[in-house]
């Protein structure tokens, strides 16, 4: 895997959806892809921050972004179908999806989680990725180099105390990614990756490790080469779908 030798010109006019785009890794992705000429579809519940990003992108890069306000905790099939229709209305096809949105809420033993919080974390981190995949995969079929990127975590492979529904949701993401790889590899040119960014300066990391010095961690911008490689044609011949930051 060579994450440096990427032809940046290939991103021009590509249409890429990013969930959880208002801060952290998602925000860095929005800005980087817009710099390279991609039309970014912003999906978040934070309309104010999306509006600010939208205005910044239009003024500085002149691409054609689109805003989709959506709380993934309440995403259902009707809303997912509406999202698909909006994307089709604005763009000829969808070239990529980055499932970046995730929540942790708190660190607690199992007895400390109420059902509402448990379901919220599973909905945002896992169920929403299933529903959006179901209705957006058909939009990827007309792309020359379609991509789906899920976001996983080391905790998904070896669950630990106090990680509760977050660990369960990320283990589910691993399974969902593997299932889609198996279902699509013989019938579609959609390339699927499951990316573990490891320790990064994000709000979620600060909740999980409050005593940690954030300056000792890499920044979201340090991950961009990985995402660009996964979204680029250069990754088409890569075997396997699990990628982690090294």
Kindly report, residue by residue over 73-99, the tens digit of the pLDDT. Answer: 999 999 999 999 999 999 989 999 999
CA distance 166 to 185: 28
Look at residue 2 and tell me whether its pLDDT is greater than 60. Answer: no
What string of H, E and C letters represents the secondary structure of 94-132?
Answer: CCEEECCCCCCCCCCCHHHCCHHHHHHHHHHHHHHHHHH
Neighbours of 70 (CB within 10 A): 20
Q: Residue 78 falls within a domain, yes or no? A: yes
Q: Residue 149 falls within a domain, yes or no? A: yes
Residue with tokens 């860095």: 28
Q: How far is CA 17 from CA 21, 48, 93, 154, 156, in A?
A: 9, 18, 11, 24, 24
Domain that holds residue 79: 10-244
- Residue 230: predicted pLDDT: 97
Q: Residue 142 falls within a domain, yes or no? A: yes
Q: How much is the average pLDDT of 221-240?
A: 95
Q: Residue 1 falls within a domain, yes or no? A: no
Look at residue 3 and tell me whether its pLDDT is greater than 60. Answer: no
Q: How much is the average pLDDT of 169-197?
A: 97
Q: What is the gyration radius of the CA atoms in the chain, in angstroms?
A: 17
Is 49 exposed, middle or buried (CB count within 10 Å of its CB: 0-12, 13-18, 19+)? middle
Q: Residue 240 falls within a domain, yes or no? A: yes
Domain count, the chain: 1
Active site residues per annotation: 166
> Is pTM, for the whole model, over 0.85?
yes
Look at residue 4 and tell me whether its pLDDT is greater than 70. Answer: no
Q: How much is the average pLDDT of 2-6?
A: 63
Q: Collect all residues with Cβ–Cβ distance below 8 Å to 211 and sequence separation of at least 6.
A: none
- pLDDT band of residue 1 (cuts 50, 70, 90) is low
Q: Collect all residues with Cβ–Cβ distance below 8 Å to 217 and sequence separation of at least 6.
A: 199, 200, 201, 205
Give the CATH number, domain containing residue 100. Answer: 3.40.50.720
Percentage of the chain exceeding pLDDT 90: 94
- Residue 7: predicted pLDDT: 81
- pLDDT band of residue 5 (cuts 50, 70, 90) is low
3-state secondary structure of 65: coil
CA distance 118 to 172: 14
Look at residue 37 and tell me whether its pLDDT is greater than 80. Answer: yes
- Model pLDDT for residues 99-110, shown as the tens digit of each residue: 999 999 999 999
Q: Residue 5 falls within a domain, yes or no? A: no
Q: Residue 3 falls within a domain, yes or no? A: no
Q: Residue 2 falls within a domain, yes or no? A: no
- pLDDT band of residue 6 (cuts 50, 70, 90) is confident
Look at residue 31 and tell me whether its pLDDT is greater than 60. Answer: yes
């Amino acid at each position: 895997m060579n994450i440096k030798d990427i032809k940046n010109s290939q991103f021009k006019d590509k249409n890429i959806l990013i969930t959880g785009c208002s801060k952290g890794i998602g925000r860095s992705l929005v800005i980087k892809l817009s710099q390279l000429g991609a039309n970014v579809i912003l999906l978040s519940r934070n309309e104010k921050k999306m509006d600010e990003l939208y205005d910044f992108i239009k003024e500085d890069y002149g691409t054609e972004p689109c805003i989709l306000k959506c709380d993934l905790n309440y995403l259902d099939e009707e809303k997912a179908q509406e999202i698909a229709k909006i994307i089709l209305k604005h763009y000829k096809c969808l070239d990529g999806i980055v499932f970046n949105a995730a929540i942790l809420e708190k660190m607690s033993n199992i007895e400390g989680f109420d059902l509402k919080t448990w379901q919220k974390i599973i909905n945002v981190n896992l169920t929403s990725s299933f529903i959006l995949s179901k209705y957006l995969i058909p939009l990827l079929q007309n792309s020359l180099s379609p991509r789906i990127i899920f976001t996983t975590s080391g905790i998904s492979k070896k669950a630990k105390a106090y990680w509760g529904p977050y660990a369960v949701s990320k283990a589910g993401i691993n399974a969902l990614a593997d299932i889609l790889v198996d279902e699509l590899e013989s019938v579609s040119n959609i390339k699927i990756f499951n990316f573990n960014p490891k320790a990064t300066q994000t709000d979620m990391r600060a909740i999980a490790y409050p005593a940690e010095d954030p300056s000792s961690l890499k920044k979201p911008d340090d991950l961009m080469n990985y995402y660009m490689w996964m979204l680029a044609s250069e990754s088409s011949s890569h075997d396997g779908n699990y990628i982690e930051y090294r």
